[in-house]
Structure 1
């Protein structure tokens, strides 16, 4: 049985990298996508291969569909058909809504929503033709509850929920599943750089009393990509330590 081939967008760092490395532990073929962090992407490839998988690093800006098409060609050349697509690429441009420029609004929605649209459309036939096609979108707790200074990010992440549920309906007749993971506050470089008083407030507001880990998110994504999740589709799975209980 051939290894699954998994494309993880925005996987040179953070949650995306953790997902790529977890797929490597499963012995998968992994396409590590990056926009500008070439060195970090190459390090991720080394980690995936050291853990038993195969990997390539592919530069592609997900807001440019032609670059996404080139990423598909690279994936096909290296590994053949793609079985799993994880739409993880994202950015934030935090600013109070009253002061937010249209550019700051557009750039966040472009990466999160246009990026998911481009990648899913380009890899759609792969997912449909795969024996166990899996579409997994990474959203955020912020898409449900909003967050001060993140109107653009919250809107984009909320849009991923509707996108996931619609694709789940359309892909179901092909036997392909689509699910969404919505992490809470995870211990990534971006979160760790927050002021300590802000992190302390987050921990106090979380029933489990701590930040989540990248590994905890990656484990759920790995499950959704596996045959163990074959009757799960259209779901939004929260990984937030009980924060919205």
Structure 2
């Protein structure tokens, strides 16, 4: 039997990459999915890809995680449709604006921090308040960090800092929310085949592959399967954990 039947899951950044794969995997496991993304076209594409089971009741939302009013509107729409908040929250929304430190603009620094770190904070805070208010005491929040948040990466001062922040936000939130029955864990993907990686020049991609013992990039589904595990009761005693999915990088 699928492990998430009857559960409601919010996936930010659900329109592409790891977020889209997560929507498919969680839907496969029986969850009803709230697909949230800034790009409404991508939301519709994801919804179409998971609509095969008519017993599940999915929802698509256009949401900007960096704006509190947008996140609050998303929660309002969720409560109107389901009369309850999601008990699974996956913070996948993320962007890059790469450049070397000495050339990086203040605007590009701010935008990456606002989406990747502040966005994770806003979604977690606003939806968790509703979880607590509705008396849900078995919830799982899964945040997506990055291995470069641990080690840094050339040309990614802003991205590395934002993802390091997500990891520490996760650890602190897990200490504050654990006694409320809310688990918070973070996954650090390595080089995963997504639109973000596809934008990297082929020569640079090959150099990265040489640093990976498995000699290949990961697939978005390989991250989504770990997310499904953390969302389920199979990981019921995991809280504040950092899981690296990197092929050994």
Alignment TM class, shorter chain as reference: over 0.9
CA distance in 1: counterparts of 2:230 and 2:151, whole angstroms: 24
Provide the TM-score with structure 1 as the length reference: 0.94
Match of 1:27 among 25, 30, 39: 30
Q: Verify the 8 A CA contact 1:132 1:176 in the aligned structure 2.
A: yes
User: In the alignment, which residue of structure 2 is the partner of 1:190?
Assistant: 196
User: In the alignment, which residue of structure 2 is the partner of 1:177?
Assistant: 183
Runs (5+) with no aligned partner, structure 2: none
**Aligned residue pairs: how many?**
242
Q: Verify the 8 A CA contact 2:5 2:29 in the aligned structure 1.
A: no
TM-align CA RMSD: 1.5
User: In the alignment, which residue of structure 2 is the partner of 1:116?
Assistant: 120
CA distance in 1: counterparts of 2:98 and 2:183, whole angstroms: 33
Runs (5+) with no aligned partner, structure 1: none
CA distance in 1: counterparts of 2:199 and 2:94, whole angstroms: 18
Q: Verify the 8 A CA contact 1:48 1:54 in the aligned structure 2.
A: no
Q: Verify the 8 A CA contact 1:29 1:79 in the aligned structure 2.
A: no
User: In the alignment, which residue of structure 2 is the partner of 1:222?
Assistant: 228
Match of 2:49 among 47, 50, 59: 47
Deviation, structure 1 residue 54 = 2.8
Q: Secondary structure at the match of 2:112?
A: helix
Per-residue Cα deviation, 1:166-222 (whole angstroms, up to 9, x for no partner)? 000011111210000110000112212322221211111001111000110000000
Q: Secondary structure at the match of 2:47?
A: helix
Q: Verify the 8 A CA contact 1:184 1:238 in the aligned structure 2.
A: yes
Q: Which moved more, 1:147-156 or 1:1-10?
A: 1-10
- Evaluate the alpha carbon distance shift between residue 101 and residue 135 of structure 1 in structure 2; reply closer, same or farther with a 3 A threshold: same
CA distance in 1: counterparts of 2:79 and 2:5, whole angstroms: 14
Spell out the pairing of 1:121-136 with structure 2 (5 A cutoff): 121-128=125-132, 129-136=135-142
